[in-house]
């Protein structure tokens, strides 16, 4: 049962003609390649995906690195203060 607008959860019914074509094809191109062919395809796909990546500029990379280092230093300080506070509380309570 579908609603008038359609939904992502319920896709449209596939055509019978395209469904029969999909069933007739078993391995396709990937099924006919050997292990070296599949490995070469894998590396070609990796290179293709890496070309799509938007790499940061040197200025952006410097800014991001600085932000991460400052955040880590602040968190180290926070954990150190909390740890010191707990250790002093334990010393006070237990002796």
* pLDDT of 25 strictly over 70: no
* pLDDT of 30 strictly over 70: no
- Provide the greatest CA pair distance for the chain: 82
CA of residue 89 relative to chain centroid, distance: 42
pLDDT bin (cut points 50, 70, 90) of residue 29 is low
* pLDDT of 77 strictly over 60: yes
CA distances from 89 to 20, 42, 82, 85, 95 (A): 73, 57, 10, 6, 10
* pLDDT of 71 strictly over 60: yes
Residue 35 CA to residue 28 CA, distance in Å, equals: 15
Residue 81 CA to residue 92 CA, distance in Å, equals: 16
Mean pLDDT confidence for 59-65: 97
pLDDT bin (cut points 50, 70, 90) of residue 58 is very high
CB burial of residue 33 (10 Å; 0-12, 13-18, 19+)? middle
Half-sphere exposure (Cβ direction) of 13: Cα atoms closer than 13 Å: 5
Mean pLDDT confidence for 49-73: 96
């Amino acid at each position: 049962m579908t609603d008038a607008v359609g939904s992502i959860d319920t896709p449209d019914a596939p055509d019978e003609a395209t469904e029969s074509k999909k069933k007739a094809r078993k391995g396709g191109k990937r099924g006919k390649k050997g292990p070296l062919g599949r490995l070469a395809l894998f590396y070609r796909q990796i290179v293709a995906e890496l070309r799509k990546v938007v790499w940061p500029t040197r200025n952006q990379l410097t800014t991001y690195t600085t932000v991460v280092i400052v955040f880590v230093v602040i968190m180290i300080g926070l954990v150190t203060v909390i740890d010191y506070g707990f250790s002093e509380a334990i010393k006070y309570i237990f002796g």
